[in-house]
Structure 1
Amino acid sequence: MHYNGLSDKEVAESREKYGSNVIPDSEPTTFWAEFKETFGDPMIRILLAIAVLMIVMCVLGYADIYEPIGTIVAILIVAFVSAKTGVASDTKYRQLKDSTKKDQCKVYRNGVVAVIDMDDVVVGDKVLLQSGDKIPADGVLIHGHIKVDNSALNGEAEECSKTAAPGEFRLADEITGDTFVDKHSLFRGAVLFDGEGVLDVQKVGLATMMGKMAEEMQDEEPDSPLKVKLSNLAGLISRFGYIGAVVIAAMYLAFYVISAGGIGPYLDTGATEIIKDVVEAVSLAVVIIVCAVPEGLPLMISLVLMQNTSKMLDHNVLVRKAEGIETAGSLNILFSDKTGTITKGRLEVVEFFTGDGITIPLAELPQHGKIKGLVDLAIGKNSQSMFDASGNVIGGNATDQALMKFLGQELFGKLESSCTVTLSQGFNSANKFSQAYLGELKKTFYKGAPERLLNASTKYLSLSGEEHPISLRAINAKIDELASKSMRVLAFGYSNQQMTENKINDDTVIVGFVGIRDDVRPEAREAIAAVQGAGIQVVMITGDRLETAVAIATDAGLLKTEDDVALTSAQLNELSDEEVKQIIPRIRVIARALPTDKSRMVRLCQEMNLVVGMTGDGVNDSPALKRADVGFAMGSGTEAAKEAGKIVILDDNFKSIKDAIWYGRTIYHNILKFCKFQLVINVAAVVVSAISPFFGVEEPLKVTHLLFVNLVMDGLGAIMLGNEPAQERYMTEKPRRRDESIVSKPMMVQILTMGLWLTVLSFLFLKLPFFDQFFANTEQKLSAYFVLFIWSALFNGFNVRDDGFAIFKGLNENTGFMKVFLAIVVIQALIVNAPLVPACAWIGSMFSCVPFPPVGWPVVGILAVTMIPVDMIRKAVTPK
């Protein structure tokens, strides 16, 4: 049937009235947008407040300009690194997207068939659909009979038959799961399996089902678990710093009052002296706040995420949002699409058995020459599918294509040239079989439903190639077994008579049977086991019927015990949110799922403080991919899915998902290591700065020393600990809750123990007369203390590498650790000895350092090394 289609004028009018078929992409990430987003980080806000406070103090003449400048520089570096990482990830994704050619379609326009981009389709267009085409917009089939694959929309791998609609049929306004599989409606993103027809376009662009899903993905995303934890840590540190500052300031004012002999005598000292004391107390309070806040933490996280974003690309994982890597390691529950994710996304032959129910492994079938040869003829000469020049299977339905792939291109080519089909009859729904007569062999070959061939057969071919009487009981038992595994069974046979139309000859011999299904990926089984071993609950959520979903889930290792729950969308929707929450820990399968079910499950799990992951490749997965804490989109999936996910799995391989989880856990462990490394320094700096004046030591740590700690130590510390190697044990740990604090009780014990030891070490060095003999004056001793403080922190860097005693293990895998260690030692030696070079004397002046005798260096080194045995003792006596 021919259609004139729309004229150019009508196309313009339709586009003006109903809109374009373009589904807008998200705007590309810009450097400036990412740069500004950094300032929403809670730790960065604290740093900004400190910088402003320090600037005020500088203006009043009570602080050096170095600290606010250093803090601002640190903030700008963090913002730059974060922005660069975000833009690089987004650019990689858009390059991947742009490398894919735009989809096109055939439409009737101006009386002829024109090939146009899908984006140019308008309401009212009549689109010519042929096998392999993708539906360009939502509408109704008005001519022809086709079979479509809706798996990109609803997860169903089954063929869905569509017939021409009555003249007045309109697409439903409210789309449900049943609308996808009605007889006439077609939706953007579906693919034609077979047939030819004409689509009347009734909805385009954002009005389509795919467009509505794209709009739904514009909702605000929840904060990442890392951001939640950092917010909590920032609040904890803020309280520690601010309360500590107020308490210390009050203590100092009280000290001044007591020293003066009471409140009355103190007031008699005059307003000038009192103001001076208040300013000194406030100055010290500011120093306390500066010491308390880990300025290097945001920088460390930015650097680590940037480094690992690049690494993951080598593992076929494209990280679109850098925080997605760390979030992957925090997962408590992972919802996975079935089609194309757990399964291969296409039908294939997975089992072969003979007429007596004996299974022959597919790899061993060539060893049974007679059976293999006859099956090859029954497939190769009895199919509507074939291979194109590129080796792709074209034509026929999904079952024919699966059988043709099983046959193979090389063998198909040989059969094409060896035998000629004299008579044939294709498959139809009434007969449920197809047949082909080969005149040269004087045999008719059949392919069809087992019940049809078995009704006409009395014999089967055994493994040895001999004919034997058939046992229907054994065959039916085997067919029922495969049906329970959601396999579609086809039978093959031959007759020594010429074919009879619409009939199977009564001398037909059964050659064998095949089981066909969309099978589980072998690597998916291993990956699911690894993810479950990591304590992560895996739930398959699919549009397929429950029986199929249960069979696949059992094969994939998801359903193992009687307590495991598999239910349908209808059953799920009969339950209230609270009832669903009660059974969530036992849910393993949700069948006949709608997009709303996926989004609901993500929401409920997040309300339970679970960190939620979602894998998928279809448009139907996109809203849930967006709402989940981390969405894993398949590289071969729809653009909508990739746009929604934080991570794109380029090779569609579950192993890559497992690697992303493993890397995420490694990153989190490295962040914890750095927190322990830095917070020990901060605790010691706060305590030493706070109480040293009471012991007669004025400013043992100058503002520039703290600047060195916060910028050089923290920045280089990020490199030291950010590249710590991944360990297998990370994948056996229990997942963390969303609201779990970064600082655990064991971690707090380590921070306080080592921070207090560094404090004790500091006062032993500063106050014991024994150490005076190694230095000529107080200036030299304070310079040596600066070295002692930094070296102690460096040796503590070994302690935080492992929660046990293997603190030196794996240094060869993190070569940057020792390089940074030595670099800091050298930098500090240069700072201390800078006054020996007249041109560099200003460096020593800035850091309040003077050279000290060579004997002082080993003394300082020995004291600093004590950090290691002290922590070893702590590890031995405290529970892990």
Structure 2
Amino acid sequence: MNNSLKGLSDNEVIESRQRYGTNFIKEAEPLSFWQHFLEGFQDPMIKILCVISVIMLIMYYFGYSDWYEPVGTIIAVILVNFVTAKTGTDNDKAYKNLKDSQKKDTAKIIRNGKLNEIVVDDIVVGDIILLQNGDKILADGILVDGKISVDNSSLNGEAEECKKTAAPEGYELIKEITGDTFVDKHSLFRNSVVINGEGYMEVRAVGEKTMAGKMAEDMKEKEPDSPLQVKLSKLAHQISNFGYVGSIVIALAYLAHYIVLAGGISAYLNNDLGTILVGIVNAIAIAITIIVCAVPEGLPLVIALVLMQNTGKLYKANVLVRKAIGIETAGSLNILFSDKTGTITKGKLEVVKVLDGNGNNIELDKTGYVLKNLYKSIANNSASEFDANGNVIGGNMTDKALLNFINNNEYQKNKLNVINKQEFNSTNKFSQISYMENGQLITEYKGAPEVLLAHAKKYMTNDGKILPLNLDKLNAKIDVLANNAMRVLCFGYSKQPLKENIINDDTIITSLVAIRDDVRPEAKDAIKEVQNAGIQVVMITGDRKETAVAIAKDAGLYCEQNSDIALTSKELNNMSDNEIKQILPKLKVIARALPTDKSRMVKICQSVNLVVGMTGDGTNDAPALKAADVGFAMGSGTDVAKEASKLVILDDNFNSIKNAIWYGRTLYNNILKFCKMQLTINVAAVIVSAICPFIGIEAPLKVTHLLWINLCMDALASLMFAGEPALRKYMKAKPRKRDENIVSKEMATQIGVMGVWLTLISILWFKLPFVATFFNTENEFYTGFFCMFVFAFMVNAFNVRTKSLNVFEHIKENPAFIKIWSLIMIIQIVLVSIGGIVGEIFSCTSFNLSGWIMVTLFALTMYPVDMIRKLLFNK
């Protein structure tokens, strides 16, 4: 410990905390169950259900409807909001458990002249913190003693080390975020990590006044509506207009019908007031039925249940869902901005190539003089070492990469008694050691190629021969490696004594090593699959442009032949928003990026109606994660980034991002399947309810029938479709527009054809005389129709599963489908058979086996008719 640094006293700590506050960065409080519940009333479908409930309550008050009709709708609203609220609170709880499972960071603080360890929240302005290799910096401050190197990647995305030296007296901490903020030689910032050296920091800012805290402030803007919310709002508007306009037209038509039957307007008005009112009330009652038929009351519940079920599936795939709507949004992406370090790349330097002094690749699984000398040089000429547990500690990122390359066994095997040593420094650009080997003094060098090659004339081959260097050939090879984002180190030896700051002229080159933060192998495949899904992937990084482009090429993101574009932050900021919009489709890389660049790009993309995704792990990514339609935070990232995101990628793997997109697309397709099934029966119910009274068929479907189909049965049906498998073809479809209709032309055709057919067989049920002969009473006959309508609905569930003629396609991948389908059928049979209060509510009675046969035969016609439709209309 530096004895000249006494730190704060206990009283000074109290005074500092009172004056400058604590080091706690306040996070957004999760919504309570009740808040989630109330938020559900903002859903457009829920608003329509509330309007229907009010109308039904008024009708009940005046004695024109039964109590269970408005109660059923109110229960539906409560049930939907309950499931939505439970999903939201469960997701919040899962995230809280993830955070609670992580131990709070601690810092080594000098107080009262003694070194203590305290938790991050207890740090105050004025504290002196001892920083050593591997320590996370937990506040903003100034280095007052020592020399260290830090990794600022959690703040600026830059993986390179930044050297820090003690600040002169009176030096002020940087307070504004600019492109040069994090490379300042004396300032240190919260969430950076010490990667080399030792020093003491004086804390100058804590909590929300740190750079990390200020970045968190940028996340308070309102989040955009998700694509699904936009589409549902549009659908709700269309359905409500259809229902309201249709009900008014039908109600007026019925009034006209009553007037015609009465012999004209005058004759109708000459009736007693009771007769006139009965006609008006009947017309209104039919109008209410039309509205109930038109609105898919079960759709909000289905979406809530499907989202809830897929939350669990994604967790098993290493994706923690912070906000359930983020699942579907991931599947709707048009463009994805991806952080480089730790997402596309592995997030750490690794040895990727070893060459001899002639530029030839050395096979790493074969022994020879090159690897033998390289292992020896790395084991001894390094500031890093292996600890007792076999972990690499100390040194900079390059030294750690080299030690990880040779592993602990080779390290121990090649350790020598080093006589003299000079550490690497940025002026000399090399380090050197000397030792005795077989009675011969050897000096080993490790450093920048241009430095060693300036003094070397020979190299060692893999079989131990010493040959002249071909500098032109070797430099050309080094240029190729550098253009592929590889950092090249050169190794050599001399038989002369070590001379400080000097490389001996008899140096022989033994090897060159290429090091890189390499692209994750699985990320390449995942990026390709995401691009094949029509999603533009843009890498946004703090790296220099040349390095970023090289990594992007390796990852399959950038291709010069396609006229792809890479920009630096400076180039980007010299362009207007309109200019960026023009080149946006070709933009693949943004280098030297600032946090403001990321947020700006998200907003520009949203302004041209693109659904935008953003991945990141650092505090610097948080504003863009928040502003994006869906933010993917990395599990190893900062809490601020996770708070800002909708999805957390627990394994930091781009492949998991791809899976989230795939699940999102699957979820949307499964919602569409359900919509096809429900809207088909709703269309049929509207037409049947509108036409039948005109042709002498009185109220074939009760409001309770429609609520039963649209709510109770739909809740179970949603579980059937929630388990539908994720198919590879979903990742080959083009992305959907944010505001496109849920009901596409193809979907409308299926709904229209099958809805009209169901209407036709409904009319035939009542108009074909032989049908009634299978039932003993009129009540049985109407009950049979209700069952036929439901059975047809359930047969159509198979039709909407697939565009294939084989409706059992992939059924084994969703075993719950048959189980739940069978359960719904059993419930329907039991419902109409038990009588009592249930029979009264649903106007049902039991009937014989011959009636059930007729119900089944009518319902089964849904399959061949849809098969014909598929043959005629499917592409």
TM-score over 0.5 for the alignment? yes
Q: What is the Cα deviation at residue 606 of structure 1?
A: 1.1
**Corresponding letter in the other structure for 2:385:** M
Q: What is the Cα deviation at residue 389 of structure 1?
A: 2.2
Q: What is the Cα deviation at residue 422 of structure 1?
A: 2.2
2:180 partner SS? helix
Structure-to-structure mapping, 1:337-376, within 5 angstroms: 337-360=339-362, 364-376=363-375
Gaps of 5+ in 2: none
**Corresponding letter in the other structure for 2:544:** R
1:824 partner SS? helix
1:841 equivalent to 2:840? Answer no
Matched residue, 1:308? 310
How far apart, CA to CA, are the structure 2 residues paired with 1:131 and 1:678? 62
Matched residue, 1:474? 473
How far apart, CA to CA, are the structure 2 residues paired with 1:725 and 1:244? 38
Give CA deviations for 1:155-187 in whole Å, capped at 9, x if unaligned: 111111122222222123322011211222221
Matched residue, 1:525? 524
Structure-to-structure mapping, 1:314-713, within 5 angstroms: 314-360=316-362, 364-416=363-415, 419-441=416-438, 442=440, 443-560=442-559, 561-713=561-713
How far apart, CA to CA, are the structure 2 residues paired with 1:786 and 1:252? 24
Q: What is the Cα deviation at residue 113 of structure 1?
A: 2.5
Choose the corresponding residue for 1:246, options 235, 245, 248. Answer: 248
Give CA deviations for 1:481-521 in whole Å, capped at 9, x if unaligned: 11111211111112334433333333322111001121111
Structure-to-structure mapping, 1:835-874, within 5 angstroms: 840-874=835-869
CA contact (8 A) 1:366 1:372 kept: no
Q: What is the Cα deviation at residue 833 of structure 1?
A: 2.8
**Corresponding letter in the other structure for 1:828:** Q
Q: What is the Cα deviation at residue 252 of structure 1?
A: 0.5
How far apart, CA to CA, are the structure 2 residues paired with 1:366 and 1:714? 61
CA contact (8 A) 1:126 1:199 kept: yes
CA contact (8 A) 1:666 1:726 kept: yes
How far apart, CA to CA, are the structure 2 residues paired with 1:843 and 1:182? 76
Structure-to-structure mapping, 1:272-291, within 5 angstroms: 272-291=274-293
Structure-to-structure mapping, 1:24-423, within 5 angstroms: 24-360=26-362, 364-416=363-415, 419-423=416-420
**Corresponding letter in the other structure for 1:406:** F
CA contact (8 A) 2:297 2:707 kept: no
How far apart, CA to CA, are the structure 1 residues paired with 2:646 and 2:853? 51
CA contact (8 A) 1:334 1:613 kept: yes
CA contact (8 A) 1:420 1:440 kept: no
**Range 203-212 or range 158-167, more displaced:** 158-167
Q: What is the Cα deviation at residue 218 of structure 1?
A: 2.2
Gaps of 5+ in 1: 835-839
Q: What is the Cα deviation at residue 667 of structure 1?
A: 0.3
**Corresponding letter in the other structure for 1:420:** N
How far apart, CA to CA, are the structure 1 residues paired with 2:829 and 2:176? 73
How far apart, CA to CA, are the structure 2 residues paired with 1:342 and 1:251? 64
Q: What is the Cα deviation at residue 34 of structure 1?
A: 1.7
How far apart, CA to CA, are the structure 2 residues paired with 1:710 and 1:479? 69
How far apart, CA to CA, are the structure 2 residues paired with 1:479 and 1:710? 69
**Corresponding letter in the other structure for 1:756:** V
**Range 438-447 or range 253-262, more displaced:** 438-447
How far apart, CA to CA, are the structure 1 residues paired with 2:610 and 2:639? 28
**Corresponding letter in the other structure for 1:169:** Y
How far apart, CA to CA, are the structure 2 residues paired with 1:27 and 1:473? 62
CA contact (8 A) 1:194 1:396 kept: yes
Q: What is the Cα deviation at residue 438 of structure 1?
A: 2.2
How far apart, CA to CA, are the structure 1 residues paired with 2:379 and 2:614? 41
Q: What is the Cα deviation at residue 697 of structure 1?
A: 0.8
Give CA deviations for 1:539-593 in whole Å, capped at 9, x if unaligned: 0011111111111111111102342110011111111111111211111011111
How far apart, CA to CA, are the structure 2 residues paired with 1:563 and 1:872? 46
Q: What is the Cα deviation at residue 712 of structure 1?
A: 2.6
Choose the corresponding residue for 2:873, options 856, 861, 878. Answer: 878
Give CA deviations for 1:518-551 in whole Å, capped at 9, x if unaligned: 1111111111101001110000011111111111
Give CA deviations for 1:725-758 in whole Å, capped at 9, x if unaligned: 1111000000011111111111111111111110
How far apart, CA to CA, are the structure 2 residues paired with 1:465 and 1:808? 68
TM-score, normalised via structure 1 length: 0.97
Q: What is the Cα deviation at residue 372 of structure 1?
A: 1.4
CA contact (8 A) 2:803 2:874 kept: no
1:692 partner SS? helix
TM-score, normalised via structure 2 length: 0.97
How far apart, CA to CA, are the structure 2 residues paired with 1:393 and 1:817? 52
CA contact (8 A) 2:368 2:462 kept: no
**Range 132-141 or range 350-359, more displaced:** 132-141
Matched residue, 1:829? 829
Q: What is the Cα deviation at residue 13 of structure 1?
A: 1.8
CA contact (8 A) 1:684 1:755 kept: yes
Q: What is the Cα deviation at residue 678 of structure 1?
A: 0.4
How far apart, CA to CA, are the structure 2 residues paired with 1:411 and 1:462? 21
How far apart, CA to CA, are the structure 2 residues paired with 1:218 and 1:306? 26
2:832 partner SS? helix
Give CA deviations for 1:231-288 in whole Å, capped at 9, x if unaligned: 1111111111111111111001111111111111111113221111111111111111
CA contact (8 A) 1:368 1:464 kept: no
Give CA deviations for 1:78-133 in whole Å, capped at 9, x if unaligned: 22222221111111111111111111112222222222222222222222222222
**Range 445-454 or range 527-536, more displaced:** 445-454
Instruction: Give 4+ residue runs of structure 1 displaced > 4 Å after superposition.
Output: none
Give CA deviations for 1:739-783 in whole Å, capped at 9, x if unaligned: 111111111111111111100110011112232332333222211
CA contact (8 A) 2:369 2:461 kept: no
1:201 partner SS? strand
Tell me the matched-pair count. Answer: 870
How far apart, CA to CA, are the structure 1 residues paired with 2:140 and 2:714? 56
Matched residue, 1:837? none
CA contact (8 A) 1:421 1:438 kept: yes
**Corresponding letter in the other structure for 1:251:** A
| Residues 77, 502 of structure 1: alpha-carbon distance in 2 compared, 3 angstrom cutoff | same
| Residues 430, 576 of structure 1: alpha-carbon distance in 2 compared, 3 angstrom cutoff | closer
RMSD (CA atoms): 1.5
How far apart, CA to CA, are the structure 1 residues paired with 2:795 and 2:162? 66
**Corresponding letter in the other structure for 1:306:** M
**Range 241-250 or range 572-581, more displaced:** 572-581
Matched residue, 1:13? 15
Give CA deviations for 1:796-841 in whole Å, capped at 9, x if unaligned: 111111123232111112122222222222222223333xxxxx43
Q: What is the Cα deviation at residue 703 of structure 1?
A: 2.4
1:221 partner SS? coil
Q: What is the Cα deviation at residue 404 of structure 1?
A: 0.9
Matched residue, 2:715? 715
Q: What is the Cα deviation at residue 440 of structure 1?
A: 3.5
Matched residue, 1:801? 801
How far apart, CA to CA, are the structure 1 residues paired with 2:69 and 2:840? 15
Q: What is the Cα deviation at residue 878 of structure 1?
A: 1.9
**Corresponding letter in the other structure for 1:728:** R
**Corresponding letter in the other structure for 2:616:** G
CA contact (8 A) 2:754 2:866 kept: yes
Q: What is the Cα deviation at residue 650 of structure 1?
A: 0.8
CA contact (8 A) 1:66 1:707 kept: no
CA contact (8 A) 1:377 1:445 kept: no
CA contact (8 A) 2:351 2:402 kept: yes
